[in-house]
Copies of this chain bind each other. A is one copy, B any other.
Amino acid sequence: MSGPPILEGMARVLLVEDDPNVRNALILALKGRDHEVESAASGEEGLELLTRFAADVVVLDLMLPGIDGFEVCRRIRATTSTSIVMLSARGDDFDVVGGLEAGADDYVVKPVRPQVLEARIRAVLRRTESVASPVETYGTLRVDRASLTVSRNGRRIALPPMELRLLLHLSAIPGQVFSRQQLLESVWDHDYLGDSRLVDACVQRLRSKIEDVPAEPKYVQTVRGFGYRFGPV
């Protein structure tokens, strides 16, 4: 639908968000980073705009007046292949699996730091523009973001929700180091500050399933003193 971006690294973004404060803040942030931005305050408006504005990516709030984000997502998917990044407020008890099944390419938890949102937008565009398929293969590991399945050496691996969310989040931006705090915020929706080793435990369980040699992790790497990163780097 959208053609190549005007400039490398620059995207046409359609922002669908009803809260004017959040909307304006994100518009400013994205424009400040040289993206072209159009915005809508409701799902209807967003869908209408999309027929005229060739967006590369739609940033879609979940809680909208009228038809909600899920439905908007499905309708966009019904006609176009525009990438979709979902935006959910912390505590919405947002069902990630449901969101991604509705056709979203990624999701971000509010309040979101604009750098983070922009990083996810870039990552989504990188993925969709290079491969044109949401399936990615890293070594022996295959992650399918459409069907939410993971397999190693062709054999399907069943992952519990939290481990899947963690893997999807990390692998969305390979190489990027995420602190435990960041992961707690964006994967768990937690906002407590207590340094818990919760992330470690989940990483550990994930490794035991996806790594060939869990003791020498290839995919989910520890960055001592900082956090974790998805390899292979």
Q: Which residue of B lies closest to A50 (CB)?
A: B25
Q: Tell whether, in the assembled complex, residue A81 and residue B114 are in contact, meaning their CB atoms are under 8 Å apart.
A: yes
Chain B CB within 10 A, most for which of A34, A79, A81, A148: A79
Kindly supply a per-residue 1/0 record for chain A positions 125-160, scoring 1 wherever the CB is within 8 Å of any chain B CB and 0 otherwise. Answer: 000100110000000000010111100000000001
A63: Cβ under 8 A from any B Cβ: no
A208: Cβ under 8 A from any B Cβ: no
A229: Cβ under 8 A from any B Cβ: yes
Q: Tell whether, in the assembled complex, residue A25 and residue B80 are in contact, meaning their CB atoms are under 8 Å apart.
A: yes
Complex Cα spacing A229 to B31, Å? 35
- With contacts A21-B78, A115-B128, A144-B175 known, what are 13 further pairs, Cβ within 8 A? A21-B79, A22-B78, A77-B111, A79-B111, A80-B113, A81-B111, A81-B113, A115-B132, A146-B177, A147-B175, A147-B229, A149-B233, A160-B225
